């Protein structure tokens, strides 16, 4: 049966299910001989933990499968001596999530969720609403004033973090957890970087941002605000006063309109300047007509980290799939519309090829924003006072060739779009003033796999200063750089980062939580049979292997509709003066139901299929006192005949077949 896209009717979609056989197949195949002679293959069940594609697609490296399993009730919080949980499951899931990302309430709102594009459930019906569950957990933590646990001891080492955007905050958070003394330097009055000065409050409510930042500061992180490194304090001073430096400068300089005559005009500004003025409260009015040029940052791949894995064939649109440049353009357009302006947004690409996702385009159109695709700016029209009165555009054909933007202008197609304010939202640039030593000559900064700056021992970097991308990407950069800084401060050689550099479920930690003895046990645990310390023939391949939908038993999963967050769509009238948040968090029951749609790819989720279908009763449950998540079943190899049935019926691909006697 063919896959249907999300626009198919609800009834068609619900009728659809996974089929192991093609339509029309009627020939019966007797598997008895295969089953009862399979022992000759000497292949028996092995228990292989793999990375699910959602985690492999997450730029922050979150342990998504783990916190979804906690939300759905499979993995339980550790219990105290009285047998009662030491914390609510919501807190336990939040703590698992924030091992990688300290800003879930923010990222749950603004991340375009490449994890959802990579979700294997796309091959069954629709992806799991991972972003919405993250949003729910972030809101729970703020409502219940959850705080991070401070380290038991401090190291006496000092680290300077330059920039308080998502990269800097992530790095400061991870370093503080490791016991280092951290000071953040920022040239703004308030912390947050682009999360505060580049994103309007109706997308990231300021009380949410403030709460998640304050939680990081409560770990003992110090700040020096209104202080620009390279100007107010020199790089040499930082080297003298600190043992290591992290550069999270961001790309907070906008790119001007690339047309002659647009320089130094008072009413031609960049999107960065516009949004900063708005978020600072300095933007009082925008004029009656605003023209925004956007969607041109070709260095940003539109949240398709997941699709580069190469095996999701039927990915559905995520709730907020968008590129940085496209998002900046839409933010400017929405702010202007809410102030009563008539807004025109132009893009090099046709509307159906714009980098912002379809949902965001529909929101903009609903609010009365005119979007015109296939237009390139070619000049500005000025009056006698030196102000721009119109943007001159021409029809064009734009495409990306070899990673570079190729634009062909249609001669004779020029026209003027009149306006009072003109905003360039075509990308971002880095301001290296005072820090020119780090400029690689290409408008960026060069670093190795550990994010250590080339030729600068002890200096690390992350975020948009390396490559403008998603806020979540910057969070991941900060965490990896913190690992490198920690090793540097401890006098250790830089480690070789794993091929799949994400957080994953730790069986040893779970066994320790339950009080199961783990002394003398070291991972990887391979080829075990008599050991009481591991699942028989268990191997954690999470650092090197992402499991695809082709290795799952998709027939186990039926159609379950995705619980979607409520998004408030405004019209031209209701948008005026409305700066309220448009995205509502899921209720608890909805979040749990959504987590239950997770297929737990690459890890046991205790469905009992292998136990029920084993013809030799060779697969059995681990004794309750010794069982944990990921250690739920084991095999009696004296009974196993290698029939492969347990492997065939394992929905998650956790059971593989390996050589054995």
Q: What is the DSSP string of 418-441?
A: E-SEEEEES-EE---TT-GGG--S
pLDDT of residue 83: 86
Yes or no: say if 459 and 453 are a contact pair by the CB < 8 Å rule: yes
Query: How do beta strands 421-425 and 289-294 pair?
Result: parallel
In this prediction, residues 557-565 reach a mean pLDDT of: 91
Instruction: Give burial (CB, 10 Å; 0-12/13-18/19+) of 175.
Output: buried
Q: From the CB of residue 624, how many other CB atoms can be counted at a distance below 10 Å?
A: 6
pLDDT of residue 532: 53
Give 15 or 398, the one with higher predicted confidence: 398
- Read off the pLDDT band of 520 (50, 70, 90): low
Give 189 or 467, the one with higher predicted confidence: 189
pLDDT of residue 297: 33
pLDDT of residue 584: 84
Question: Within 13 Å, how many C-alpha atoms sit on residue 274's CB side?
Answer: 32
pLDDT of residue 39: 46
Cis peptide before 614 (omega within 30 of 0): no
* 372-410 confidence digits (pLDDT tens): 989 999 999 998 888 899 999 999 998 877 767 788 999
* 213-228 confidence digits (pLDDT tens): 999 999 999 999 999 9
pLDDT of residue 279: 67
In this prediction, residues 552-575 reach a mean pLDDT of: 80
- State the Cα–Cα distance between residues 539 and 524, nearest whole angstrom: 6
* 463-480 confidence digits (pLDDT tens): 888 877 788 889 999 999
pLDDT of residue 597: 97
Backbone angles phi, psi at 263, to 5 degrees: -75, 140
603 has a pLDDT exceeding 90: yes
Closest of 502, 499, 501 to residue 544, by C-alpha: 499
- State the Cα–Cα distance between residues 508 and 628, nearest whole angstrom: 10
pLDDT of residue 8: 40
Yes or no: say if 275 and 335 are a contact pair by the CB < 8 Å rule: yes
- Read off the pLDDT band of 444 (50, 70, 90): confident
- Read off the pLDDT band of 281 (50, 70, 90): low
Yes or no: say if 172 and 216 are a contact pair by the CB < 8 Å rule: yes
Q: Is 357 left (phi over 0), alpha (psi -120 to 50) or beta?
A: beta
Strands (DSSP E) contained in 543-601 are none
- Read off the pLDDT band of 420 (50, 70, 90): confident
What rounded mean pLDDT belongs to the chain?
82
And the tokens for 4? 């249907």
CB under 8 Å to 297, separation ≥6 — which residues?
Answer: 323, 324, 325, 326, 355, 426, 427, 428, 468
- State the Cα–Cα distance between residues 228 and 35, nearest whole angstrom: 71
Range with lowest mean pLDDT among 180-194, 417-431, 471-485:
417-431
Helix, strand, coil fractions of the chain, as percent rounded to 5: 30, 15, 50
And the tokens for 51? 């990375």
- Domains defined for the chain, CATH in brackets: 158-252+430-489 (3.50.50.60), 253-429 (3.50.50.60)
- State the Cα–Cα distance between residues 288 and 239, nearest whole angstrom: 50
- Read off the pLDDT band of 272 (50, 70, 90): confident
Most confident residue range from 91-105, 190-204, 332-346: 91-105
């Amino acid at each position: 049966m063919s896959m249907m896209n999300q626009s198919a009717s609800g009834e068609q979609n619900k009728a659809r299910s996974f089929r192991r056989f093609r339509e029309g197949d009627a020939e019966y195949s007797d598997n008895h001989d295969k089953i009862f002679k399979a022992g000759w293959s000497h292949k028996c069940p092995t228990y292989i933990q793999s990375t699910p594609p959602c985690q492999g697609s997450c730029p922050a490296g979150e342990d998504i499968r783990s916190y979804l399993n906690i939300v759905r009730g499979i993995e339980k919080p550790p219990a105290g001596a009285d047998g009662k949980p030491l914390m609510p499951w919501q807190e336990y899931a939040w703590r698992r999530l924030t091992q990688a990302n300290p800003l879930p309430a923010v990222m749950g709102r603004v991340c375009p969720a490449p994890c959802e594009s990579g979700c294997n459930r796309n091959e069954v019906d629709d992806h799991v609403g991972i972003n919405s569950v993250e949003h729910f957990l972030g809101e729970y933590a703020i409502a219940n004033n959850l705080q991070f646990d401070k380290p038991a001891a401090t190291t006496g080492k000092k680290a300077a973090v330059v920039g308080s955007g998502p990269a800097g905050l992530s790095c400061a958070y991870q370093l503080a957890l490791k016991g280092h003394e951290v000071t953040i330097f920022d040239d703004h009055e308030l912390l947050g970087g682009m999360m505060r000065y580049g994103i309007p409050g109706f997308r990231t409510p300021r009380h949410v941002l403030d709460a998640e930042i304050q939680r990081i500061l409560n770990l003992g992180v110090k700040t020096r605000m209104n202080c620009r490194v390279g100007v107010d304090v020199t790089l040499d001073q930082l080297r003298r006063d600190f043992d290591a430096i992290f550069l999270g400068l961001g790309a907070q300089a906008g790119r001007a309109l690339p047309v002659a005559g647009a320089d130094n005009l008072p009413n031609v500004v960049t999107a960065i300047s516009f949004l900063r003025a708005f978020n600072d409260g300095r933007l009082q009015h925008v004029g009656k007509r605003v023209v925004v040029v956007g969607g041109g940052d070709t260095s940003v791949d539109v949240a398709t980290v997941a699709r580069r894995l190469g095996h999701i064939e039927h990915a559905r649109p995520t709730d907020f799939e968008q590129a940085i440049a496209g998002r900046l353009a839409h933010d400017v357009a929405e702010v202007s519309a809410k102030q009563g302006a008539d807004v025109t947004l132009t893009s090099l690409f046709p509307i159906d090829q714009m980098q912002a996702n379809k949902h965001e385009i529909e929101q903009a159109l609903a609010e009365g924003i005119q979007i015109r695709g296939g237009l390139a700016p070619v000049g500005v029209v000025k009056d006698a006072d030196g102000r721009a009165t119109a943007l001159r555009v021409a029809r064009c054909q734009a495409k990306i060739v070899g990673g570079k933007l190729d634009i062909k202008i249609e001669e004779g197609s020029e026209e003027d779009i009149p306006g009072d304010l003109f905003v360039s939202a075509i990308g971002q640039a880095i301001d290296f003033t005072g820090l020119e030593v780090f400029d690689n000559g290409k408008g960026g900064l060069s670093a190795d796999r550990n994010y250590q700056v080339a030729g600068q021992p002890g200096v690390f970097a992350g975020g948009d200063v390396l490559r403008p991308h998603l806020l979540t990407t910057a969070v991941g950069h900060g965490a990896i750089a913190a690992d490198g800084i920690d090793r540097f401060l401890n006098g250790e050689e830089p480690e070789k980062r794993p091929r799949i550099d994400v957080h994953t479920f730790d069986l040893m930690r779970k066994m320790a939580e339950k009080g199961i003895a783990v002394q003398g046990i070291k991972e990887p645990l391979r080829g075990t049979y008599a050991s009481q310390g591991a699942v028989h023939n268990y191997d954690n391949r999470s650092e090197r292997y992402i499991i695809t939908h082709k290795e799952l038993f998709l027939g186990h999963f039926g159609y379950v509709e995705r619980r979607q967050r409520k998004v408030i769509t405004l019209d031209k009238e209701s948008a005026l003066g409305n700066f309220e948040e448009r995205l509502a968090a899921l209720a608890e029951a909805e979040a749990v139901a959504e987590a239950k749609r997770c297929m737990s790819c690459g890890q046991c989720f205790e469905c009992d299929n292998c136990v029920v279908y084993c013809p030799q009763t060779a697969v059995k449950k681990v004794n309750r006192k010794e069982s944990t998540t990921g250690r739920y079943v084991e095999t009696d190899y004296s009974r196993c005949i290698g029939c492969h049935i347990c492997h065939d019926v394992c929905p998650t691909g956790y059971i593989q077949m390996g050589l054995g006697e």
